[in-house]
C-alpha cells in the first residue's frame, strides 16, 4: 500500500516561538490523515528539508508532497527550493517528490487573511 | 468623520514577484472598503512602515491598523515591529495606531492553509 507524506517547508527563524503556527498546522494535518506530516526549514531551525525527506523515506513513504509555507514565490521558493528538491530526488530515486506552490498564492488562503484583516478593524 | 487605514506589513524580499500575494490581498481589502489600504515592508522593498504611516496620516486617517503578514510571532514581529510602531506614534501623536497579531496565528488562516495542503495531495 502506498504511503504519502506531507512536509511543511518554512523559512525558519531565530525565535522558537516563530514556529508555533507551523506546529499547529502540522497538528491539524495529523488530525486529518494518518500518514506522515513533518516540518522542515530552510535555515535557522531543524530539520532541514533533506533530513525530513530522508526520515519520511525511511518510514516507508513512496511519495512526499512538499508544501512551501511562504507567502510569495520569491527567491527562496523559486531558486533555493528547486535545488534542494533536486538533491532530495537524487538521494532517493525510488521516492516521488511533489512540490506545491507557496501557500500564500492560494485564493482561499488570501480570502482567510483578508477576513482576518477586516476583523482587526473592530478589535 | 473618522478615517481608518489598514497597512499590511510584510518582510520584503529581493524578488519583486514575492510581493504578488500582498498586492492581491490589498486588492481584496480595497474591494471590501473605501478607506486606505497600503503595503509596507521591513526590508528590501518599499515603502517602509514609517513611510506608509506618514502617507495615511497625510491622507486624513485618524486611525491606522497595522496587520503583520507573517506566519509567526518571531523576532521581527515581537522585537522590530514594536520599536517601529513606537517611532510612528511619536511622529504622529494625533494618530491612533493599532497593531494586530501575525496573520499566521489566526485559526481560520491556519484552517485555510491546512485545506490547501490537503488539496495538494490530489494535485
Summarised one tens digit per residue, pLDDT across range B38-66 is 999 999 999 999 999 999 999 999 999 99
What gap in Å lies between CA A109 and CA B23, rounded to an integer? 14
CB A23 within 8 A of CB A39: yes
Q: Cite the DSSP H helix spans in chain A.
A: 20-32, 49-58, 75, 81-91, 107-120
Domain ranges of chain B: 4-120
Radius of gyration of chain B (CA): 15
CB atoms within 10 A of CB B17: 13
pLDDT computed for residue B1 by the predictor: 67
Tell me, what DSSP letter sits at residue B45? S
**Cβ contact A108–B121 (<8 Å):** no
Give the residues of chain B that fall short of pLDDT 50: none
CA nearest to A37 within chain B: B117
**Cβ contact B100–A123 (<8 Å):** yes
What gap in Å lies between CA A69 and CA A25, rounded to an integer? 10
B67: three-class secondary structure by DSSP: strand
Across the interface, of B6, B72, B111, the residue whose CB is closest to A19 is B72
- Residues in chain A with CB shorter than 8 Å from the CB of B25 are 110, 113-114, 117
Distance from CA of B64 to the nearest CA of A (A): 9
What gap in Å lies between CA B82 and CA B85, rounded to an integer? 5
**Which of A18, A33, A56 best tests the B interface by mutation, with the highest count of B CBs <10 A?**
A18
- Residues in chain B with CB shorter than 8 Å from the CB of A4 are 121
CB atoms within 10 A of CB B31: 10
Cis link prior to B77 (omega < 30° from 0)? no
**Cβ contact A116–B108 (<8 Å):** yes
CB B7 within 8 A of CB B64: yes
What gap in Å lies between CA B25 and CA A113, rounded to an integer? 8
Place of cell 495531495: B121
**Cβ contact B123–A100 (<8 Å):** yes
- CATH 3.40.50.150 for domain B4-120, yes or no, is no
Residues 6 or more apart in contact with residue A17 via CB below 8 angstroms: B72, B73, B74, B78
**Which of B4, B29, B63, B112 best tests the A interface by mutation, with the highest count of A CBs <10 A?**
B112
Give the residues of chain A that fall short of pLDDT 70: 1
Across the interface, of B29, B71, B116, the residue whose CB is closest to A22 is B71
Q: Quick one: how far is CA B68 from the chain centroid?
A: 5
Amino acid at each position: 500500500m502506498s504511503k504519502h507524506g506531507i512536509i511543511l517547508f518554512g523559512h525558519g527563524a531565530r525565535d522558537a516561538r516563530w514556529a508555533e503556527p507551523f506546529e499547529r498546522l502540522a497538528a491539524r494535518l495529523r488530525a486529518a490523515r494518518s500518514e506522515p506530516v513533518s516540518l522542515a526549514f530552510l535555515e535557522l531551525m531543524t530539520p532541514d528539508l533533506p533530513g525530513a525527506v530522508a526520515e519520511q523515506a525511511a518510514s516507508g513513504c513512496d511519495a512526499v508532497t512538499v508544501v512551501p509555507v511562504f507567502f510569495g514565490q520569491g527567491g527562496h521558493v523559486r531558486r533555493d527550493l528547486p535545488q534542494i528538491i533536486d538533491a532530495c530526488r537524487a538521494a532517493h530515486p525510488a521516492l516521488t517528490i511533489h512540490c506545491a506552490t507557496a501557500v500564500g498564492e492560494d485564493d482561499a488562503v488570501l480570502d482567510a487573511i483578508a477576513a482576518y484583516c477586516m476583523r482587526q478593524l473592530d478589535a
